[in-house]
Structure 1
Amino acid sequence: MNILIVHAHPEPRSLNGALKDYAVQHLRAQGHAVQVSDLYAMRWKATLDGADRLDRDPDARFDASLDSMQAYEGGTQSADIAAEQDKLRWADAVLFHFPLWWFSMPAIMKGWFERVYAYGFGYGVGEHSDQRWGDRYGEGMLAGKRAMLVVTTGGWDSHYGPRGINGPLDDLLFPIHHGMLFYPGFDVLPPFVVYRTGRMDDTRYARTTAALGERLDALWTQAPIPFRRQNAGDYLIPQLTLRPDVAPGVSGFSAHTA
């Protein structure tokens, strides 16, 4: 299988960097083809702006969606964006390795999504009518591919528990899992999370890599998070709210998993 790793940590010798290196070695040893987008090493441009469209009139008003659409359709995207899109087309699965910084991914990785998910590629795809509202949330350009987060955090697992001060980790990751991965069609696997990164010794590291190896071996057999597909009947269209008979009395993030 073809696997893309998108990695965001500025220190190659970090725990997150070591887990990325382990994943590359483990996957290749199992016969998979692996590409890595190491965003800091690449000096990835994080900001979405007019420079992403090569044929843009510099005096024209910048419109993020319109300029993105015209650049994608016209083949005038900057080369770094087009290269990452080609990697996504190539990949059967994508791993996103990053530390949890201020309750989300590092800004450089957020910028990867903003720039690579061009209009016509990551969004703005498919028919919009009274029967369906685009190819998204379970459909789209990345349907049939799998994605998994590999996240490191200094906090304890209890800090991210149901009553933890930081809030449940599943809730913190919901915008990434549901909004950035499931939206364009990925089957999203439960995340691999390493807590208390400052308390890592050789014994615990060996246990951690062994557990990660098991998750990597299960990339194509583990059940994905059962998010509800937008166009499969659970949602009213075009309101895009759950039908009254679906998960009655349930609201919030949990209502959108079956």
Structure 2
Amino acid sequence: MAPTSRTLWVFAHPDDKSLNRLLFDSGVGHLRESGQTPIVSDLYADHWNPVLSDEDLGGVHAPTLGHRQKLATRTGRLADDIRREQSKIAAADRVIVQFPLWWFGMPAILKGWFDRVFTNGFAFGVLDEQGRVRKYGDGGLTGTTFLAVVSAGDRESAFDPRGVNGAMDEVLWPLLHGTAHYTGMRTLRPHLIASADRVDDLRLRGEVERLHRRLDGLDDEPPMNYRDLRGGDYDDEHVLRSDIRPGVTGLGVHVGGETLH
């Protein structure tokens, strides 16, 4: 990892004695030892407000919430805490979000971070030179690498393609494809810490080392091979062309050359 790179690490876990906290502190420390100056958003410690409302939008007037959000973004009237988080993203080459898997999704505080910070006109709703909305492989966050660091209580095999929970790529589809890829980010496979409530000292050292190795290789790691909307695989109605994997449906058809695993 290049010393000049900037990483924003968004952390969402309420327990200061958790495995997640230890890995977060260790990971941020490793980035510093590598010559970086990581940027941190510790949502519970910061008492982040996860609720999107018109109070975020500086009193602008427009017919819909989406229009008001875009106007507030364009005119610099978003709430101060939102603008601070957007400044962190704009300054970063990489965004890491770390959270425990709760009911197959993010904690509400992290979902609310995305709701409030990824505004219309900043992360999405931006136009290309032809006046088309940039999304799915292109967007307001193009050029940024995205990694989700996720802990789960179940064993790793339960997140295999035939595991009872489903493959982690599919469990996190809304985040990986519907948020990161949608906004143009270079999306990496999630970093799973399985059996997170059953980690002894030996395995803990292994998890720390595994995370550090992952951080060191982010620049060279190939991204998820999601199909880009403007890459020629979709028709004008945003449907996969009939000659591509004909007869096959499901999330995996939107991954080029492979199925999810």
1:104 alignment partner in structure 2:
105
Shift of 1:167: 2.2
1:24 is aligned to 2:28: yes
Give 1:251 deviation, angstroms: 1.5
Q: Does 1:45 align with 2:36?
A: no
1:250 Cα offset (Å): 2.2
**Residues 1:250 and 2:251 aligned together:** no
Runs of 4+ in 1 over 6 A off after TM superposition: none
In structure 2, C-alpha distance between the alignment counterparts of 1:182 and 1:211, rounded to whole Å: 25
- Structure 2 distance, partners of 1:29, 1:167, is 36
Aligned-partner Cα distance in 1 for 2:95–2:84: 15
Contact 1:133 1:231 in 2 (8 A): no
Question: Which residue of structure 2 lines up, in the alignment, with residue 183 of structure 1?
Answer: 182
Which residue of the partner structure matches residue 121 of structure 1?
122
The residue type equivalent to 2:65 in the other structure is A
Q: Deviations over 1:142-191 (max 9, x none)?
A: 11110101000111112222232222222111111001101111101111
Q: Distance in 1 between matches of 2:95 and 2:245?
A: 31
- Match of 1:101, SS state, is coil
Q: Deviation per CA, 1:35-94: give whole Å up to 9, x if none.
A: 11001111111011111012247xx97x32122111111211000111111111100001
Answer yes or no: is the 8 Å Cα contact 2:60–2:71 preserved in 1: no
Partner in structure 1 of residue 221 of structure 2: 222
Alignment correspondent of 2:167: 168
Q: Do 1:128 and 1:134's aligned partners in 2 also have CA atoms closer than 8 Å?
A: no
Q: Distance in 2 between matches of 1:11 and 1:213?
A: 22
**Aligned partners of 1:6 and 1:234: how far apart in 2?**
33
d(CA) in 2 for partners of 1:27 and 1:212?
11
TM-score (normalised: structure 2): 0.92
Paired-residue identity, %:
40
Look up the match of 2:149. 150
- The one-letter code sitting in structure 2 at the alignment partner of 1:94 is V
Total equivalences in the alignment: 252
Counterpart CA distance in 2 for 1:67 and 1:194 is 39
Question: Separation in 2 of the partners of 1:78 and 1:53?
Answer: 6
Query: Is the contact made by 2:8 and 2:89 (CA closer than 8 Å) also made in structure 1?
Result: yes
Q: After TM superposition, give the deviation of residue 207 of structure 1 in Å.
A: 0.6
Gaps of 5+ in 1: none
Scaled by the length of structure 1, the TM-score of the pair is: 0.93
**1:208-227 CA deviation, whole Å, 9 max, x = no partner?**
11111110001100000011
